[in-house]
Each structure stands twice: as C-alpha cells, then as structure tokens.
Amino acid sequence: MADLPFLRRIAALAAITTALLLAACSPSGKEQAAPAAPPPAVQAPAPAPTAPARGIELPSFVKLVKQAGPTVVNIGAIQKGKASGLRRGDPLYEFFRRFGGVPDTGESPTLSLGSGFIISQDGYILTNAHVIDQADEVIVKLTDKREFKAKVIGADVYTDVALIKINANALPVVKIGDPSKVDPGEWVAAIGAPFGFENSVTVGVVSAKGRLLPNGSFVPFIQTDVAVNPGNSGGPLFSTNGEVIGINSQIYSETGGYMGISFAIPIDIAVGIAKQLRETGKVVRGYLGVQLQELTQDIASSLGLKDTNGALISAVQRGGPADKAGIKPGDVVVAFNGQPVQTTADFARLVGETKPGTSVSMDVLRGGKKETVKVTPGVLKG
C-alpha cells in the first residue's frame, strides 16, 4: 500500500498543474465568464412597395365628345338633274371608281356629304366651300335627328370656307380656340361623318403648322395625322380642352382615302371669312401683284441674311400695287402692317386680310439693309 503523504503530494501537484493549464488558456490569466447570449437581431422594416412605373398617359376625349358632339352637324348637298349620280368627294364615289366604275343615274338628283359645326345659337354653321359647291339644296342634320333646309350665306374658294344658316334657335355652340397656342405634337380630335358614318371621332396629333399648299390658297394649314376621309370635310378640329382650332379641309392621298396626312384651316382665319360673308355675302381681300418664294438656307446665305425668316419676292407684276410702291425682285419681306413675317404663308395671309385701298407699311431687307416702304393693296379678283 502506497505511502499516504506521498499520494497527497501527487494530488496537490496535479491540482497546481491543472490550474496553470487553465490560466494559459485565458489571455488575462483569469477565467472568463461564458459570453452572454447575443441580443435578438432587430429585423429591418420591409421596404415600402413602390408604385409600378407608369408609361405615357394618353388623354381621354370622352368629356370632349359629350360636350362638343352636339355642335357638329351632317351636311347633304343636293344637285338636281345632273348626269352622274355620284360626285368626287361623295363617300361612295371612290368605292365605285375602284370597283366597277361610277354609276350613271341619268337625270336623278345627286348627293354629296360633308360636315359642319354650329357657331351661333340662331343657326349659323361653318363648313367647307367645296362641300356645298354647286348645290341646289343643302340639308343639315343635327345629332338629335332634326333636319333643316339651309340657306347658303356665302362661300370663299380661296380659303375653302362657307357659311350657311338654318332656321333654329337655342342651338349648342362650339367654343372657338386660338390655333397659335397649339404646338406640333399636341393631341387633337376630329368629329364628322366619314363615308357617311355620322358623328365619328378620330384623334391624332398636330404634325406641323403654317403649311402653304401648292394650290393657290391663302391658308397656312394646320397639318395633322388625324384620320380624315370623305365626309369629314367641313367638320371641326378640336384641341384637348374642347375648343375648335380648325376646319378639316383636305387630305393628301393617292387613293382618295386617308393616308396619314390631313390639313385643317385655322379657325381664326375661318372666323374672319365668316364675318365678311355674314356682313356682305362675299369676301374682299387685298393683293400686291407679287410672286413669292420660300427662303432656304442657301438663298438666305447668298443674300447675306442671318436666318431664313421672311418672304422672298421672286417676281413683281408690272403696274401692280407692289410695283407702284417700288418693291423689287429679291426683296425679303420681314414685316407687314406691323406684323412679323416669317414665312410666305404669313405674308400671303396678312396681305389677303388687308382691306383694299388701305395704305400700310412693309419692312423689307434689300442689299443687306432694312427699308420701310408704303404700299396700298388692290382688290383681288377671281
């Protein structure tokens, strides 16, 4: 049996060795308490849901159609005793022309269709001159299905504007807008009767303004991509706020139908024509006896001009008002009667609106210098 003191010394030595080993495991030389349990993680709030991305929001024309629709009328122009049953411009004319030929109905009356819109509560209506051209009888149909025989107050072939009247009162009236406040790219709407489909609505955008077409017209047309077809002629072109800014008048087409380009007469020009037609039954406009040419960058540079604003006089009629005032070919008109001239369309319109016999000032660029001349427009005939 082992000596008891010896065993006690061995046990004490083992205890000391264990304590030294434990001390070596601790950086501070002391025993460390077991680390406290980490606090529960705070969960971050879920991000607020984001609204889905929105594309371009298209305008709604529902309110416009409800309010302005009753102001638009359908117009039937009747010619009595004509040899052909259908005229160019009739909704069925192009159909028969392309599929079998235009039928000849002998001496029966012929009917062409168009549109118009009411501008006064007592029955004055604006439309196109070509809609009622050579008509023996004009019938107006309202949206409430009432029909009236209309009286032709007058028509102007140069602007293609006509004024007619029906015997009615308390009629809904369009709101007249300002075409100068409408820019290319803005939405517009047309209401009319394409191919006889009454009160049809088509929409698009303004493509360009101030288009001067090669047809001798004095009108700086509003160009749009609104679908306009035979039967729409004479109908209103509306801005998105429900105001009329033009009269749908022409389309560019190789088929007789819509091909993406249509033209409207600015309403301010039409209203001015209507005023003269209502007062005198005809339109009297001024003329100078000049031929105009649009300025290009090359022409402007050759004339020493900084930009292409203005109307270039390319020819002067001998003995005409411009000739008497000393206007010369090569002059560039930049202002007429105090109004700026940026294009030939501007100049043609301003001259046409001037009362014949009225002396007005005209600013021209000649030889790189600005000069002011006095000119008295004559009466445009024809």
Catalytic residue list = 130, 160, 233
CA 313 – CA 116 distance, rounded (Å): 37
**Torsion sign over Cα 173, 134, 217, 230:** positive
CA 227 to chain centre: 12
Q: How many CB atoms lie within 10 A of CB 364?
A: 24
Which residue is it, tokens 């009286």? 151
3-state secondary structure of 211: strand
With a CB cutoff of 8 Å and minimum separation 6, the contacts of 90 are 110, 111, 112, 113, 230
The DSSP annotation for 145-187 comes to S-EEEEEEEEEETTTTEEEEE-S--S---PEE--GGG--TT-E
Half-sphere exposure of 319 (CA within 13 A, CB side): 0
101/307 Cα distance (integer angstroms)? 51
* CB-CB contact of 233 with 211 (8 Å): no
Beta-bridge partner residues of 312: 293, 332
Task: Considering only the C-alpha atoms of the chain, give the largest distance between any 2 of them, rounded to a whole number of Å.
Answer: 157
Q: How many helices (H) and strands (E) does the chain have?
A: 7, 21
Please list, in sequence order, all residues whose beta carbon lies within 8 angstroms of the beta carbon of residue 152, skipping any fewer than 6 positions away: 132, 135, 138, 162, 163, 164
Within 8 A by CB and 6+ apart from 208, the residues are 184, 222, 223
Q: 66 — phi, psi (to 5°)?
A: -65, -40
What tokens appear for 350 in the block? 């301003």
Strand partners, 224: 206, 262
Q: Is 234:247 a contact under the CB 8 Å cutoff?
A: yes
Give the span between the Cα atoms of 65 and 18, in whole angstroms: 99
